[in-house]
């Protein structure tokens, strides 16, 4: 029998376990026979209806949390596009033949995403194992011990789930505060002098993985010049946001008085040695001179800026790369390189969240960035920034922060 001959609809109905399919809106798309039999529902009572209209919480139980816990698990699946295994749940079920009468039931659920061609969740597989009889086991000393043990396990699982929920809420609050701090410390999108520039910051999708990346744009003294920089702090949350703010401010100040980007990073590197949490931080800065059509640049362990020339040629500015900011305990001149451009070129600085992917060589991500910039080079900076993020970031969001700065030269 080849694959085309397999009746997967029939296979689904015959699965030896309770399985249902939910839409992203949590509406039942289908349920197999085992699910309907154990839930005590007909297909008409389930398919096409909202999950929590079919199975609400027991209104007579003030401590009922099954609906809230299941909703949180399903949301995690939709957000992260990953399977979520739930702790043992007490989720009472109303007797369909006797409205108002609720049966004490215990379930062990697993929820898994079905990903569509666009990378988004199109269905959620909701697999449930009923363990009510095990929990309520009776009949002799062994049965009593089993019941006591299972009840204890259920209690501990519920306590653990409540603890996880409190931790999740605490992490969410930290994320909100850290993002607010980041927004306050990073410069808003703006025109640098009369030159068009676009900036973007996209936090990671995880609850804690935010606020390690930063960017800066600063007017330089002496002619029509600006400094553009991005950096990345190892670590996340409020601590990383604080370190990020210190390094950004220090580089901004150093750039205004330094002879070039190499000297500015040298000063920043010495400062990083006395900042707790700045270990292995990276940064790259560029000094753009619009009068001479040149860019001077220096990098401290950071991915190279990209110069898209007016004719479409893509140049990675990688000729002045040095270790991260705190790599040398003693002062040491950092390298500096210079390149030229014609009016109409575009300079792009970014952090590694834009190009790095797990199990993928960094060169693949850099090539993807070059292709995107080349194909959209005619777009204005604001639209170009949106196009690049749309093409390079995963549909569900990246697992690392992403900062992006685009300047039209």
Q: What is the pLDDT of residue 142?
A: 43
Q: What is the pLDDT of residue 221?
A: 85
User: 160: buried, middle or exposed (CB in 10 Å: 19+, 13-18, 0-12)?
Assistant: exposed
Q: What are phi and psi of 44, to 5 degrees?
A: -65, -30
Instruction: Count the alpha carbons within 13 Å of 284 in the hemisphere toward its beta carbon.
Output: 27
Q: What is the pLDDT of residue 141?
A: 39
382 with 198: CB under 8 angstroms? yes
How far apart CA 369 and CA 375 sit, in angstroms, is: 10
234 with 247: CB under 8 angstroms? no
Q: What is the pLDDT of residue 144?
A: 45
How far apart CA 277 and CA 234 sit, in angstroms, is: 8
Q: List the domains of the chain with CATH numbers.
A: 3-136 (3.30.450.20), 186-408 (3.60.40.10)
Q: What is the pLDDT of residue 374?
A: 94
Residues of the chain by 3-state class (helix, strand, coil), percent to 5: 35, 25, 40
User: 187: buried, middle or exposed (CB in 10 Å: 19+, 13-18, 0-12)?
Assistant: middle
Q: What is the full per-residue pLDDT of the chain (409 aa) written as tens digits?
A: 555 678 888 888 888 889 999 999 999 999 999 999 888 889 999 999 999 999 888 888 887 888 888 999 999 999 888 888 887 777 888 887 788 888 888 888 889 999 988 888 999 999 988 777 766 654 333 444 454 455 555 555 555 666 666 666 666 666 566 555 555 555 555 556 678 899 988 877 654 455 578 888 988 988 899 999 999 888 666 677 778 778 888 888 889 889 999 999 999 988 888 888 788 889 999 999 999 999 999 999 999 999 999 999 999 999 999 999 887 766 678 999 999 999 999 999 999 989 988 788 899 999 999 999 999 989 999 999 999 999 998 876 667 788 899 999 9
Nearest CA to 150 out of 88, 66, 69 is that of 88
Q: What is the pLDDT of residue 300?
A: 93
If one counts every other C-beta atom within 10 angstroms of the C-beta of residue 34, the result is 18
pTM attached to this predicted model? 0.58
Q: What is the pLDDT of residue 158?
A: 59
DSSP bridge pairs for 27: 50
């Amino acid at each position: 029998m080849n694959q085309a001959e397999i009746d997967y609809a029939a296979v689904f109905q015959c699965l030896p376990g309770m399985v249902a399919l939910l839409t992203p809106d949590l509406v039942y798309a289908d349920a197999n026979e085992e699910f309907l039999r154990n839930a005590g529902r007909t297909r008409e009572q389930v398919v096409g209806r909202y999950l929590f209209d079919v199975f609400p919480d027991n209104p007579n139980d003030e401590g009922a949390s099954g609906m809230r816990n299941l909703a949180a698990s399903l949301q995690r699946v939709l957000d992260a596009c990953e399977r979520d295994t739930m702790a043992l749940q007490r989720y009472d079920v109303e007797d369909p033949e006797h409205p108002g009468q609720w049966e004490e039931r215990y379930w062990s659920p697993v929820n898994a995403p079905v990903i569509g061609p666009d990378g988004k969740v199109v269905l959620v597989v909701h697999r449930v194992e009923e363990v009510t009889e095990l929990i309520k086991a009776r009949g002799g000393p062994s049965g009593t011990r089993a019941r006591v043990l299972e009840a204890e396990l259920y209690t501990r699982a519920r306590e653990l789930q409540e603890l996880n929920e409190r931790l999740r809420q605490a992490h969410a609050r930290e994320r909100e505060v850290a993002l607010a701090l980041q927004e306050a410390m990073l410069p808003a999108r703006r025109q640098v002098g009369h030159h068009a520039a676009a900036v973007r910051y996209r936090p990671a999708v995880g609850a804690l993985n935010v606020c390690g990346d930063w960017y800066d744009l600063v007017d330089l003294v002496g002619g029509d010049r600006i400094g553009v920089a991005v950096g990345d702090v190892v670590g996340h949350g409020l601590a990383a946001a604080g370190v990020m703010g210190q390094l950004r401010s220090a580089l901004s100040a150093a750039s205004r008085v330094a002879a070039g980007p190499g000297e500015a990073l040298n000063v920043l590197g010495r400062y990083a040695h006395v900042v707790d949490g700045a270990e292995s931080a990276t940064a790259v800065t560029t000094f753009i001179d619009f009068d001479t059509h040149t860019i001077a640049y220096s990098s401290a362990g950071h991915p190279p800026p990209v110069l898209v020339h007016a004719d479409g040629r893509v140049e990675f500015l990688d000729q002045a790369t040095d270790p991260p900011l705190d790599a040398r305990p003693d002062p040491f001149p950092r390298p500096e390189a210079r390149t030229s451009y014609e009016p109409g070129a575009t300079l792009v600085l970014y952090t590694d969240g834009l190009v790095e992917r797990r199990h993928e060589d960094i060169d693949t991500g850099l090539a993807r960035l070059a292709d995107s910039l080349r194909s959209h080079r005619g777009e204005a900076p604001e639209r170009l920034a949106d196009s690049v993020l749309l093409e390079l970031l995963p549909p569900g969001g990246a697992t690392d922060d992403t900062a992006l700065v685009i300047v039209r030269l």
